[in-house]
Amino acid sequence: MEKTLDKLKPGEKGTVKRVTAEGMIRRRLFDMGVTPGAALMMRKAAPFGDPLEITLRGYELSLRRIEAAGVLLEV
């Protein structure tokens, strides 16, 4: 099933299928290791609901929902 990263619930895992974000955000996502094939897991949302915390490539990454919406996952 396909899902964007911002729709992932805490504890759920997925594999990056495509990065649809554009420009600088796209590049930053790549540089931080969010590339097709990368496995990741949703940890939690911040107390006010945004940003999100995910685990990938052995570290914790925080990103906003709007940025996460540009990452398509296979779950």
Partner 1 sequence: MRIALAGNPNCGKTTLFNMLTGSTAHVGNWPGVTVEKKEGVYKLYPDGVKKGEPIRLEILDLPGIYSLSPYTPEEVISRAYILDERPDAVINLVDATSLERGLYLTTQLLETDIPLVVALNMADALAKNGDKLDADMLEKRLGVPVVSISALKGDGLKELMATTYSAVSFAQNGKRTPNSVLFGHADAELFQKASKIYESEGVGNAVFRALKAVEGDAGEKKALPEIFGKVRALIDEYEGGKSVSDKEAQGLRVKPMPTVPPIKQMRIRADKFDNISADKIAAYNLDAEIWNEVAADVTDELAADIAGETFITDYEALIADARYKHITGEFSPALKRKRDVWELSPSEKVDRILTHKIWSIPIFLLIMFAVFHLTFSENLLFLGVFIPEGSFDNAVFGTDAINAPGVILANALGLLTDWLSGLIGGAMPDGTWYTGLVVDGILGGLFAVLSFIPQIMCLFAFLSILEDSGYMARAAFIMDRLFRKFGLSGRAFLPLLMCFGCSVPAIMASRTLQSDKERRMTIMLSPFLSCGAKMPIWVTFGAIMFAGRYPDLVVYSIYLLGIAVAVLAAIILKRTALKGEAPPFLMELPAYRMPHPRNLVRHVWDKLKHYIIKAATVIIAALIVIWFISSFSFTFRLVEDQSDSIIGIIGRGLAWLFWPLGFGQGADGWKFIVAVLTGLIAKEMVVATMGVFAGMADDPLSLETGELSAAPIAVLIGTLSVPAAFAFMAFNLLSVPCMAAVAAANGELSNKKQTFGAIGFWLGTAYVVAAAVYWIGMYWWISLILLGIAAILITLSKLRSKGIIKLSFGKSKQR
Sites of contact with partner 1 (CB under 8 A): 13, 15, 17-19, 24-33, 35-39, 41, 43-51, 53, 55, 57-64, 67
Nearer to partner 1, 7 or 26 (CB): 26
CB of residue 19 to partner 1, shortest distance in Å: 7
Amino acid at 39: A
CB of residue 69 to partner 1, shortest distance in Å: 12
Question: CA-CA distance, 64 to 51, in Å (whole number)?
Answer: 4
CB of residue 27 to partner 1, shortest distance in Å: 5
Strand segments, DSSP code E, in 1-75 are 2-4, 13-19, 39-45, 52-56, 59-63, 71-74
